[in-house]
Amino acid sequence: MSVDILMPALSPTMEEGTLSKWLKKEGDAVKSGDIIAEIETDKATMEVEAVDEGVLAKILVPEGTEGVKVNAVIAVLSEDGESASDAAAKSKPAEAKPEARAEAAVPETDKAKPEPEAEREAAPPKAAVKADPSIPEGTNFTETTVRDALRDAMAEEMRRDERVFVMGEEVAQYQGAYKVTRELLQEFGERRVIDTPITEHGFAGLGVGAAFAGLKPIVEFMTFNFAMQAIDQIINSAAKTLYMSGGQMGCPIVFRGPNGAASRVGAQHSQDYSAWYAQIPGLKVIAPYDAADAKGLLKAAIRDPNPVVFLEHELLYGQSFPVPDMDDFVLPIGKAAVKREGTDVTLVAHSRMVGFALQAAERLAEEGISAEVIDLRTLRPLDTDTVIESVKKTNRLVCCEEGWRFMGVGAEIAATVVAEAFDYLDAPPVRVHQKDVPLPYAANLEALSLPNADDIVRAAKKVCEGAF
């Protein structure tokens, strides 16, 4: 049997090259791995190795030939027992071979008709999201800090599922740098509440590996600022592996910790990463405001089979909110909440900005403007339906976020509303955000840099200008 030796492609972009040198002559025995020729492209010289064993029966393209197309037959190899001349006789010259490498390289399906429009949609069809569970009549509510609500969520899920464990810096003996993991060590022991070295990249990767193996880690970052050291593992390993494995390798993990500005800690400890993580397919991103949402959504995040980035806020940890006394209060991921109903302007916010939006709505009401406040709660998947429904009613939109405006969460929401509810808008959407500088330390500059209720009131009045 004879084997055609083809002009190889040495890179994904190569179409032709120069066959600069033959290192074997006709009649030479070659075995797989032997260098038989050298090829030059505009970028490099590469060696051609034989992949079969036999005798080089016929050289069809002499050395020094330029412009040899990829996949052209350059020589013929005779295998076991066949005479070299037989093999040569059977061969066809290079020119006779269809030259276009593209033909050979592109599978049949590629040449099919253009795909129908439906297959070119920018996003997959939206999955239906459940509504919040109804809270039975007569349920008691307990004033709980966000800190304790988060702790309770972890404790309940750890009681429920042996696979759940929490790891991070100072989560065990120190009881949490912000005391969010208080008393977990006492209840669950050091096997499931694990102090790590200060090595975010390493322990985030370790957590992802444990999740691949079927455990359900909660990885606490002391703050999300430090998670930048680990962001490769969060995105490249946790978020992308399910897809790259064709659906085999799930990663049920929660990365949680405080995100955004704290108080007077300077630029490196005060960044809002909402927009960063919310951009990544394969992640879910949650950023709650009040204690009940913090609890219900953290429980949902821990149960979720996907990697979840759970963005908390240090300045909310100590704030108290009513939390329903229910055995198992789990909220749906991907559902925004209308925190205050209104008719004149929609204020969209998440995390700490929801508090400012509520304060702003209160003040706007005093001036006769009825603001609706939407707490996004989840950033990915983003509940744009709730936002659009609201804008259809109010016809005005203010997007509030603690992070920078540029390429931010507000930009995404405004673009979506413009695309899907353009005719309902009576004014261009306005964004409230941090100033476009690293967060300063000086008290006055810090205050100038961060968005607050005043900014939201101003923005709301701007979009309502001329309406009243």
Which residues are identified as catalytic?
Answer: 200, 269
Contact string (CB under 8 A) for another protein, positions 255-294, x = contact? --------------------------xx-x----------
- Are 292 and 330 in contact by the 8 Å Cβ rule? The answer is no
* Residue among 212 and 404 whose Cβ is closer to another protein: 212
What gap in Å lies between CA 238 and CA 280, rounded to an integer?
11
* Residue among 215 and 326 whose Cβ is closer to another protein: 215
Task: Find the shortest distance in angstroms from Cβ 48 to another protein.
Answer: 8
* Residue among 242 and 418 whose Cβ is closer to another protein: 242
* Residue among 102 and 442 whose Cβ is closer to another protein: 102
What gap in Å lies between CA 329 and CA 308, rounded to an integer?
18
Which residues are CB-neighbours of 441 under 8 A, at least 6 positions away? 264, 266, 267
Contact string (CB under 8 A) for another protein, positions 120-149, x = contact? ----xx-x----------------------
Task: Find the shortest distance in angstroms from Cβ 54 to another protein.
Answer: 12
DSSP 8-state symbol, 235: I
Task: Find the shortest distance in angstroms from Cβ 376 to another protein.
Answer: 18
- Choose among 69, 27, 31, 78: nearest CA to 50: 31
Q: Which of residues 29-88 bind another protein (CB under 8 A)?
A: 32-33, 35, 44-47, 49, 51, 70-71
Task: Find the shortest distance in angstroms from Cβ 218 to another protein.
Answer: 13
- Which three-class secondary structure state does DSSP give residue 107? coil
What gap in Å lies between CA 71 and CA 8, rounded to an integer?
6
The DSSP string of 287-308 is: ---SHHHHHHHHHHHHH-SS-E
Q: Which of residues 163-182 bind another protein (CB under 8 A)?
A: 165
Q: Binding of another protein at residue 90 (CB under 8 A)?
A: no
Query: Sign of the CA dihedral 152, 157, 159, 165?
Result: negative
Task: Find the shortest distance in angstroms from Cβ 427 to another protein.
Answer: 35
For the CA atoms of 48, 54, 57, 62, the dihedral, rounded to the nearest 10 degrees, stands at 10
Q: Binding of another protein at residue 228 (CB under 8 A)?
A: no
* Residue among 125 and 466 whose Cβ is closer to another protein: 125
Report the residue from 197, 422, 436, 444 that binds another protein according to the rule CB under 8 A: 197
Task: Find the shortest distance in angstroms from Cβ 254 to another protein.
Answer: 12
CA distance from start to end of the chain: 89
Report the residue from 232, 325, 328, 341 that binds another protein according to the rule CB under 8 A: 232
What gap in Å lies between CA 464 and CA 468, rounded to an integer?
7
321: which strand partners? 144
Q: Which residue has tokens 């042996």?
A: 162
399: which strand partners? 348, 431
* Residue among 33 and 62 whose Cβ is closer to another protein: 33
What gap in Å lies between CA 9 and CA 186, rounded to an integer?
63
* Strand ranges (E), 197-296: 216-220, 254-258, 284-286
Q: Which residue has tokens 């999740």?
A: 211
Contact string (CB under 8 A) for another protein, positions 147-166, x = contact? ------------------x-
Contact string (CB under 8 A) for another protein, positions 1-30, x = contact? -----x-xxxxx------------------
What gap in Å lies between CA 5 and CA 20, rounded to an integer?
16
Q: Binding of another protein at residue 335 (CB under 8 A)?
A: no
Task: Find the shortest distance in angstroms from Cβ 444 to another protein.
Answer: 39
Report the residue from 42, 81, 113, 119 that binds another protein according to the rule CB under 8 A: 119
Go through 192-230 and write b for each residue having 16 or more CB atoms within 10 A of its CB, e for each that does not. Answer: bbbebeeebeebbbbbbebbbeebbbbbbbbbbbbbbbb
Segment contacting another protein (CB under 8 A): 168-176, 202-210, 389-397, 454-462? 202-210
Q: Binding of another protein at residue 201 (CB under 8 A)?
A: yes
* Residue among 45 and 83 whose Cβ is closer to another protein: 45
Q: Binding of another protein at residue 191 (CB under 8 A)?
A: yes
Q: Binding of another protein at residue 110 (CB under 8 A)?
A: yes
Task: Find the shortest distance in angstroms from Cβ 139 to another protein.
Answer: 24
65-69: strand order across its sheet: 45-49, 35-40, 16-22, 65-69
Measured CA distances, 95 to 32, 57, 100, 104, 165 (Å): 26, 18, 11, 16, 66
Q: Binding of another protein at residue 342 (CB under 8 A)?
A: no
Report the residue from 178, 188, 212, 321 that binds another protein according to the rule CB under 8 A: 212
- Please give the size of the binding site for another protein, defined by CB under 8 A: 73
Task: Find the shortest distance in angstroms from Cβ 61 to another protein.
Answer: 15
* Residue among 247 and 368 whose Cβ is closer to another protein: 247
Q: Binding of another protein at residue 304 (CB under 8 A)?
A: yes
* Residue among 232 and 367 whose Cβ is closer to another protein: 232
Query: Sign of the CA dihedral 433, 435, 438, 440?
Result: negative
